[in-house]
Amino acid sequence: MRRVIMALAIVALTFASVQPAFAKTYDLLIHNNTEEDVKIILKGDENYSFSVDPGKISKRVEEGTYQVSYKACGGAVVEDSSITITQSGVWLVIEPCPVAAVLAKFVVGSKIGESLTLSLSGPVEYELTIGLGKNKFLDIVAGTYIYSHDYCEISVAGTIRVTKNGKANLALLGCERVEILSFGLPNPRDLRIASHYSFPFTLTLIGPKQYYLIVNPGINRIDVIKGDYTYIYTAYNHNYSGVISVTGGGYNNTVIFSPLSPEP
């Protein structure tokens, strides 16, 4: 009888030693943010393959480290990474499909006489070279940008929204206007100076504010504070002076300097 008991004990121990240990399993949480079914393949000690509809689901998998692979967004997104599962609640997130960038027209009008660099910070970073007049850019990614430049020795910044309808316009004011507005001085007026001389000359305006201007042949525009000014300039070795009044804007503020009639 004792031998029988010993034999049964040996058999029981042997049976217990060959029983496989059950692996722990956990819930893998999956969030498919695309609008299509995605086939996911997990490779590890155990292999899994399953399709996931758009939305959130959970899959019961054994603990361990897995190589994750899938294709999404019509093949535009290919994933090849790893994930370690040692507890429930681990997330596998499939990001939304990338949206194709929309290119739009962006127009910058500059009243600044020299070229400058305009920085745009938004969906994409740009450094745009801006010259006097109208500057057109046809391939700016649509979105909201912070723009800035420091050409006028005063930091100028703001926001602009570039839209796909191509109507985004930004006006860069002359340095005189920027200075006036920055220091809270009265609203500047657009003074048009027409020169019939064939060469540039220096014009001094003394009034509510003092200006030293290079007047080129043709039409010259400058922003000045409204009021009465004494002007002084030299041409053909002769000094000219007088008084002009800056009131409204546009053609109402046009003065003409001519060698035939130097008085405006």
- CATH number of the domain residue 251 falls in: 2.60.40.3700
Which whole number is the average pLDDT over 183-204? Answer: 80
Domain that holds residue 209: 186-257
Q: Which of 131, 152, 176 is the last residue of a domain?
A: 176
d(CA 140, CA 99): 15
**pLDDT over 50 (residue 246):** yes
In the structure, what pLDDT confidence band is assigned to residue 181 with cuts at 50, 70 and 90?
Answer: low
- Give the pLDDT of residue 19: 47
User: What pLDDT does 220 receive?
Assistant: 86
In a domain, 82, yes or no: yes
Q: Is residue 263 part of a domain?
A: no
pLDDT at 249: 57
What is the C-alpha separation between 101 and 128, in angstroms, rounded? 19
**How sure is the predictor about 177, in pLDDT bands with cuts at 50, 70 and 90?**
low
Structure confidence at residue 12 (pLDDT): 53
Cα(214)–Cα(86) distance, rounded to whole angstroms? Answer: 76
65 lies in a domain? yes
- Whole-angstrom distance, CA of residue 241 vs CA of residue 251: 22
pLDDT in tens, 197-234: 999 998 888 887 777 788 889 888 887 877 888 898 98
pTM equals 0.42
Q: What percent of the chain has pLDDT over 70?
A: 82
| Neighbouring residues of 4: CB distance < 8 A, sequence distance ≥ 6 | none
pLDDT (0 to 100) of residue 226: 79
Tell whether 196 and 167 lie within a shared domain.
no
Give 186's pLDDT tier (boundaries 50, 70, 90).
low
Residues 88 and 109 in one domain: no
